[in-house]
Amino acid sequence: MKGVESIEIEVVRLPHGRDLQLPDYATASAAGADLLAAIDQDIELGPLERKIVPTGISIALPVGFEAQIRPRSGLAAKHGVTVANAPGTIDADYRGEVGVILINLGKEPFRIERGMRIAQMVVARHARAVWREVPALDETARGAGGFGSTGVVTGSSKRA
Ligand SMILES: O=c1ccn([C@H]2C[C@H](O)[C@@H](COP(=O)(O)OP(=O)(O)OP(=O)(O)O)O2)c(=O)[nH]1
């Protein structure tokens, strides 16, 4: 697709995911490919319960890339179901099955069915740090301010 970097990624469909589609992008410009639940029996996720849900695929990312497992906003907004470790990290050297750690933060039990789109996977480049230890860091306008130091009200001089 024009304007979007595309890379070929090797993927193996595991036996229990044979009939399921490979991760797919819902729209032409979607950043995340939807991951499907490769489960034989429905899973009922009670309030505050979490489970590693199998996706039926293993992937081999090129070195220098990672894949991020992110929640689907629809599941989060409607049911409180999200990814416990979001964004989960798939390393380039990982060859096991991609798993999604889903947690139900809602008040009602949530039923996961086979083939349900449970999360999305974003492929991204990453760097590796080479640490260069120094005695002190350069000065900036922010300095050590963080954790709400700039206040919460946008476009006003009010500071929290
Ligand atoms: O949501 C996730 C997170 C991780 N993984 C797989 C791929 C990743 O490459 C591997 C290790 O993940 P991570 O580094 O987050 O796990 P860890 O808790 O640090 O364990 P490890 O000691 O295995 O690295 O587990 C998943 O399938 N789903």
State whether the beta carbon of 118 lies less than 6 angstroms from ligand 1: no
SS3 75: helix
Is residue 76 classed as helix, strand or coil in its secondary structure?
helix
- Name the band, by pLDDT with cuts 50, 70 and 90, for residue 2: confident
How large is the ipTM? 0.98
User: What's the average model confidence in pLDDT over 133-151?
Assistant: 96
pTM over 0.80: yes
pLDDT score for 157: 53
CA 153 – ligand 1 centroid, Å: 37
The reply to whether 148 sits in an annotated binding site is no
Whether residue 84 has its Cβ less than 6 Å from ligand 1? no
What CA dihedral angle connects 60, 58, 10 and 22, to 10 degrees? -140
Mean pLDDT value across residues 136-148: 97
**What pLDDT score does 151 carry?**
93
Query: How close is the Cα of 70 to the center of ligand 1, in Å?
Result: 14
Average pLDDT over all residues of the chain: 95
Give the CA-trace dihedral at 9, 15, 19, 20, to 10 degrees. Answer: -50
